[in-house]
Structure 1
Amino acid sequence: MTSKDIDIYKELKTYFGFNKFKGLQEEVIKSILDGNDTFVIMPTGGGKSLCYQLPALIQEGTAIVVSPLIALMKNQVDAIRGISSHKGIAHVLNSSLNKTDVAQVKSDIVNGITKLLYVAPESLIKEEYVEFLKSQKISFVAIDEAHCISEWGHDFRPEYRNLRSIIERIDDVPIIGLTATATEKVQEDILKNLGMTTAKTFKASFNRPNLYYDVRLKTSNINSDIIRFIRLHLNKSGIIYCLSRKKVEEIAQVLQVNGIKAVPYHAGLDAKTRAKHQDMFLMEDVDVVVATIAFGMGIDKPDVRFVIHHDIPKSLESYYQETGRAGRDGGEGHCLAYYSYKDIEKLEKFLSGKPIAEQEIGNALLQEVVGYAETSMSRRKYLLHYFGEEFDEVNGLGANMDDNVRNPKKKHEAKDDLKTLLECVKLSNEKYKSKDIVSILIGKVNALIHSHKTDQQPYFGSGKNQDDKYWMALIRQALVARFIRKEIEQYGVVKITDKGLDFIEKPESFMMTEDHMYEEGDDITIVTNSKAGGSSADEVLIKLLKELQKTVAKKNGVPPYAVFQETSLDDMALKYPITMDELKNIYGVGEGKARKFGKPFIDLIAKYVDENDILRPDDFVVKSTGVNSGLKLYIIQNTDRKLPLEDIAKAKGLEFKELIEEMQRIVYSGTKININYCIDELLDEDQQEEIFEYFMEAEDDSIQKALDEFDGDYDDDELRLMRIKFISEVAN
């Protein structure tokens, strides 16, 4: 029986109640019914599951669906059972079943009742199941989340590697591979590993025109920013992704104490709690789920209005998959990611413990994420290029749904630099990856470059006029413009295209946008109407506060930064505190600091608010969960007892640097702390006096400037501890 013998529209209406197919569904279903190996690349929300469900229901026998997620299997089985009078039409076969359940599943398959059997890859390799399935009529095998078979996929599962040999043992049936996200490298891997290189491939567009892509620098004010964002999307459903369980719990708590209906979701919670929280989100008893990536794989809530990445993900596939949970109904979807290079360094550190091959893959995927976050070109174009799809950033659907397009950076002519770059790739025989090409251009030798004697070539150092960040930005833009490409077999090696060769012969205008340079200490400016309780710091007020800061500092005989830090002044110009209680909720201001210096500041702000008819955003005062108050008390009590700092850190599971950061927070918010006993062991009286005098006269409290000033006389920790002593004694 082929697709020509079946009225698939009638079957679609009978089983699912739809009158027409979506996107590529019809062609895919016909290919499966005709017995072809079929490969389907379709974004989240594109209707992949129907592609194998309908043929399974129509055809004789049982279709095996391999899926890595128990939650996803359960959802799909429940959905299929909902369209049939017989519960046995769909079953799962995984570790959650007892012996009685397994016997029932086998009986329904033998009796021809079961049309879809969902199996985890770990279950499929069990000998007893293989032997049983060999004796049954199997219609085809569908492999969902097929990217799991590739080490380059974002969710690699080693057990997926054995699938081809197991399928061959069961029966010679067509294989259907399905994935919501796959680069050319992953696609090639999937087809090769499943032995289906002749499969009919169907690839839908990855463009989701209703999603708005937005990347912001991650600063210490991130919680305030997230709360402001959620309040601007009041009563709408959203997901916040974090990389660690600890951070999930922390953010969920902060949201709850600030009046936002939120629940945590991660693998550390018991199954009952996870199911309850997922249901609360689906039933709209809560608006926000804060989750690790364990959440959402098996959920289909069409009206998720925002997806926030508190931590940048490990790959662009993960990012695409997770942002894809927004706006599945075609309505608005805001995809907001917070980026800081520190997070990338943490992920790199995590990779350093892995085998070399895994490290290389992980780092290559991470660099793509860095490129996406730092690029100033259309993020949609960058993302679609990563998935091998062209995008017209002027007329394409959703062209202006992106922060870079709405707030474009200046462009400059880079014709000559592009020619230099392309000549470097060509003359070095197309054997280097991006970072090595950058090294060659700026004249920096490494072992690989030296081994090929490239450092002796005339083009070595030909781009010394620009820095490494500039050349990396140009490489990214040249890749997207198709002047160069990345080799699939030796992933990451840069090759020149015919378009690139033509450019060398006949260079023409190439306008380049410079990447965002996210430096530590930068802050986010979210521009809104400052008269209306907006979320942009009031520049006029900042100027007045800085003048007052200097006056108060002079009166007290301390440097301006010892009164309030700049970040605290920015926060005041955002929230307009006019009482002592409100001032204590300002970033970096504790009770002691507010009491000592606060009165003139709240008086100035009250007068300013009154004179300028400012509508104060009083609902933007972020309440703290009090999570750190116990740690603060512990540190103060134990420094008073003169306990060694290393012991205090160890007792609280902190690195020494983390303890110093906590102590800095304590003194900067206005509380005294006595660490003279440990400083006396490190530095003599003259040394202490020298550093103390430096901080008294310094324009700001930068440790880097202090290190430069003392030129190696003192190390980072010594200067930080002395700064804590200084702030504690002169400002608190």
Structure 2
Amino acid sequence: METTTQHNIADLLKTHFGYDKFLPNQEEIINNILDQKDTIAIMPTGGGKSLCFQLPALALDGTAIVISPLIALMKDQVDALKANGISATFFNSSQPYEEQQQVLKELQNGNLKLLYVAPESLPQLNFILNSIKINLFAIDEAHCISSWGHDFRPAYTQLKSLKEQFPTVPLIALTATADRATREDIAAQLSIPNAKTFIASFDRPNLYLDVRPGQNRNKQILDFLKIHRDECGIIYCLSRKSTEKLAATLSSKGYKAEAYHAGLTSEERTQIQENFINDVSPIIVATIAFGMGIDKSNVRWVIHYNMPKNIDGYYQEIGRSGRDGLPAHTILFYSFADVIMLRKFAEGTETEAYQLAKLERMQQFAEALSCRRKALLGYFGEHITEDCGNCDICKTPPKYFDGTLIAQKVCSAVTRLQEQEAMGMVLDVLRGAQNAQVFDKGYQNLKTFGAAKDISWRDLQQYVIQLLNQGVLQIYFHENGRLLLTPFAKMVLFEGKTVRLANIIQEVEKVKTERAPRKRADLFDKLKTLRLKLAQEIGMPAYIVFSDAALEDMEHKKPRNREEFAEISGVGEAKLEKYADEFLKIINRHLDGLESDLPTHEHSYKMFADENFSPSEIAEKRGLSEDSIYIHFIKMHQLGTDFDFSQFISSEEIQQIKSAQKTLENPEALKPYFEYFEEKLPYWKIKLGLYL
């Protein structure tokens, strides 16, 4: 029985989604649901969470109810499912009453395989849910139910009643990031204490992890965008004002960028999301509210203008890039000003100690001088032994030097400032800054004033961060971020303790290590143009038609016919039927060097008349059916081209077809002729006979 089920789900995977194999953990999670067991799935963004409930929904009788927090997410996933030939829809407050009633009718009649619903709207369905066959409940973004989660949503807490109301229906809770405390809370809140927990690898090897000092952020961003001009990306800022200011700066430099934050109306936010999804505005400058659940696969970069408050949020936000598995670049700008601001946000809250501990871990990640991926995965309890080779530290590993003298100068300045000043002032004193703040306090008279004037402000700041990391200095965040000496500092100052510091990687060097945008072949651009045209015709985002990864697979495999096109990753039966002919036409024209704008019927005729290809050879080369080639010939004849059809059909055959026309009940359709001639006469010949 198990083998049959596995065979069935593998068939469904290929038929509906166009994939030949599962991603890690997917098959085990799906089988657990098929065995009617409750499940908690922790999988990284881009790891294929949605498939874990979409595929069982297809395999089981009845309808799957998917609880999802955002309307944008519901619409995206429903559009993608429909494009794959799956009956799905959503129910939420954004729909007019008539549309809601139509959804309820379809649900009651058993016409839906998946229904997406917001937690706030779930009570409105209660009267129907008890009367229909539900095959599973899926709680997406399940960390929203936990107060330990980084995006707590009160509306999620009502979901605990699902297990009481439907004790035999399997429930799956899914999220991209959840530490142990959050996972335990999810199980308790949803009343699924015996749920099997699956934790997929958090490693997203296609993401380049890059952390940079926060000076000159705008210039660094503009330099980055010059290299990545035609790519989609998101920039996260902490404040609304920052999003608007930066979006205006980018727009003034010729980039299509929009600001997104909670101060906009819901209509404005929806429009901006639509613009981003449809590549109208490829750059969004947003507060963290943007992006959760937006299933856009071709985001090529994510920049954090400010440091996030914890690694959970950072990981989820960078995970919005590279979901198609292709290379993506992430940049995190780091400064102590951000740390101090985030600490102020946390202070006085109910979970202050917890939030501050999480912030400290985020800070340690940003300051790491060893492989970033090791630090990131270690946070989620996943340990790798080898350096990743795809982060800023691995690409340009620091060289260490004896930094004892610099450490002594810094410690001496902190001492002479009586441990009362924050980092900015310590740096100003050491560099001999001629500013009012220094002179007002008489610090220009200190012995250490100007003691490190030969070191740039930026480099000196980084050395102080390293001293903080190494435990030579500490910060009193709750007292304006003043720097203090530790017992280790006294060993450095008075006992000759050696300090090793890492050389600072200069910005100019770092630019060289960036991933250069992949040089696209002409074919990729042609496929992309066709995809956009088809997407606009159906009013859907381009990636719903095909992902960038699917287009790359076409470019790589160069399918010539439908059979080969069916092997492209992401091509299921529905997409094969809808799109194969048009994409194959582009691919074959490209490969045959036929770049003119000939109409398709003229193209076929040219290959026949000028290049002596037979109809079957033309069909093979162009990836079309033989029927289509004969229709092209008929069209050329209708347009006045002399054409000798006798080489393809005899006068006897024409006569037989005409005779059948008089006797058949439905002479307009082709199938009756096909059956009349006992399937011995091909369709193209029947069409030709009727035409002549």
TM-score band by shorter chain is 0.5 to 0.7
Provide TM-score, normalisation by structure 1: 0.54
2:665 matched residue in structure 1: none
Counterpart amino acid of 1:364?
A
Equivalent AA in structure 1 for residue 317 of structure 2: E
> How much has 1:276 moved relative to structure 2?
3.7
Alignment partners' CA distance in 2, 1:303 and 1:242:
21
Distance in 2, matches of 1:105 and 1:530, equals 52
Give the 5 Å matches for 1:215-614. 215-219=211-215, 221-354=216-349, 356=350, 358-394=351-387, 398-403=388-393, 406-410=396-400, 473=470, 525-528=506-509
Displacement, 1:204?
A: 1.4
After the TM superposition, which residues 184-195 of structure 1 pair with which residues of structure 2 at under 5 Å, given as runs?
184-195=180-191
Q: Deviations over 1:683-709 (max 9, x none)?
A: xxxxxxxxxxxxxxxxxxxxxxxxxxx
Question: In 2, Cα distance between the equivalents of 1:337 and 1:277?
Answer: 24
Shift in CA distance, 99/283, structure 1 to aligned 2, threshold 3 Å: closer
Change (3 A) 1:288 1:150: same
Shift of 1:392: 1.7
> Distance in 1 between the 2:298 and 2:161 partners?
41
Matched, 1:172 2:168: yes
| Deviation (angstroms), 1:150 | 1.9
Distance 1:295 1:132 in 2: 33
8 Å contact from structure 1 (residues 24, 204) kept in 2: yes
Give the deviation of 1:54 after TM superposition.
1.2
Please give the alpha-carbon distance, in whole angstroms, between the structure 2 residues aligned to 1:512 and 1:293.
38
**1:7-18 correspondence runs (5 A):** 7-18=8-19
Secondary structure of 2:27's aligned partner: helix
Cα-to-partner distance string for 1:572-620 (whole Å, 9 max, x where unaligned): xxxxxxxxxxxxxxxxxxxxxxxxxxxxxxxxxxxxxxxxxxxxxxxxx
Which residue does 2:456 correspond to in 1? none
Partners of 1:3 and 1:77 lie apart in 2 by: 30
Contact 1:2 1:33 in 2 (8 A): no
> Would the alpha carbon gap of residues 53 and 473 (structure 1) be closer, same or farther in structure 2, given more than 3 Å must change?
farther
- How far apart, CA to CA, are the structure 2 residues paired with 1:12 and 1:51? 11
* 3-state DSSP of counterpart to 1:308: strand
Distance 1:196 1:15, change over 3 A: same
**Alignment equivalent of 1:145, drawn from 136, 141, 146:** 141
Larger RCO (CA within 8 A; separation ≥ 6): 2
Task: Output the CA distance in 2 between the equivalents of 1:263 and 1:210.
Answer: 26
Give the Cα separation in 1 of the matches to 2:68 and 2:40.
15
1:637-692 CA-partner distances (Å, limit 9, x unpaired) = xxxxxxxxxxxxxxxxxxxxxxxxxxxxxxxxxxxxxxxxxxxxxxxxxxxxxxxx
**Structure 1 match to 2:38:** 37
Q: Work out whether residues 376 and 514 of structure 1, in 8 Å CA contact, stay in contact via their aligned partners in 2.
A: no
Conserved 8 A contact 1:39-1:200: yes
Which residue does the alignment assign to 1:94?
92
Deviations 1:458-517 (CA, angstroms, capped at 9, x unpaired): xxxxxxxxx998686579xxxxxxxxxxxxxxxxxxxxxxxxxxxxxxxxxxx998699x
- Indicate the SS of the match to 2:333: strand
**Cα displacement (A) at 1:250:** 0.5
> Deviation digits for residues 702-723 of structure 1, max 9, x if unmatched?
xxxxxxxxxxxxxxxxxxxxxx
Distance 1:265 1:513, change over 3 A: farther
Distance, in Å, in 2 between the alignment partners of 1:144 and 1:470 is 42
2:676 corresponding residue in structure 1? none
Q: In 2 relative to 1, CA 14–212 (structure 1 residues): closer, same or farther, beyond 3 Å?
A: closer
Q: CA 1:530–1:149 in structure 2 vs 1: closer, same or farther (change >3 Å)? A: closer
Q: CA deviation at 1:320?
A: 0.5
Query: Which residue, out of 111, 120, 127, partners 2:109?
Result: 111
Return the letter of the residue paired with 1:392: T
Deviation at 1:339, TM superposition (A): 1.2
Question: Residues 165 and 38 (structure 1 numbering): CA distance in 2 closer, same or farther, change over 3 Å?
Answer: same
Q: 1: CA distance between counterparts of 2:469 and 2:31?
A: 45
RMSD, aligned CA:
3.1
SS of 1:141's equivalent in the other structure is: strand
Residue 530 of structure 1 deviates from its aligned partner by 12
Query: CA–CA distance in 1 between the matches of 2:468 and 2:337?
Result: 21
Tell whether the 8 Å contact from 1:62 to 1:137 is kept in structure 2 after alignment: yes
**Cα drift, residue 153 of structure 1:** 1.5
Identity %: 48
How big is the shift at 1:4?
Answer: 4.2
Question: In 2, distance between residues paired with 1:64 and 1:193?
Answer: 18
Task: Please tell me the residue identity of whatever aligns with 2:50.
Answer: S
Structure 2 CA distance for partners of 1:315 and 1:361, relative to 1, 3 Å: same
Spell out, residue by residue over 1:522-571, the C-alpha distance to the aligned partner (whole angstroms, 9 max, x if none).
x994034999xxxxxxxxxxxxxxxxxxxxxxxxxxxxxxxxxxxxxxxx
Count of residues paired in the alignment: 426
Correspondence for 1:651 = none
Whichever residue aligns with residue 388 of structure 1, its letter is G
Question: Where do 5+ consecutive residues of structure 1 fail to align?
Answer: 413-466, 476-510, 517-522, 532-732
Cα displacement string for residues 280-328 of structure 1 (whole angstroms, at most 9, x for unaligned residues): 3344344422112222223233332221101111211110111112222
Write the letter of the residue equivalent to 1:264.
A
Q: Determine the C-alpha separation between the residues in 2 that align with 1:196 and 1:514.
A: 50
Per-residue deviation, 1:236:
2.3
Change (3 A) 1:313 1:171: same
How high is the TM-score relative to the length of structure 2?
0.57
2:48 equivalent in structure 1: 47
Which residue type is aligned with residue 333 of structure 1? A
Give the drift of 1:109. 1.6
Contact 1:377 1:405 in 2 (8 A): no
> Structure 1 stretch 240-249 or stretch 99-108: which is displaced more?
99-108
Gaps of at least 5 residues in structure 2 are: 403-463, 473-497, 513-692
Distance change in 2, residues 1:321/1:252 (3 Å): same
**Deviation for aligned residue 1:112:** 0.9
Contact map agreement 1:29 1:55 (CA 8 A) in 2: yes
Residue 39 of structure 1: CA displacement? 1.5
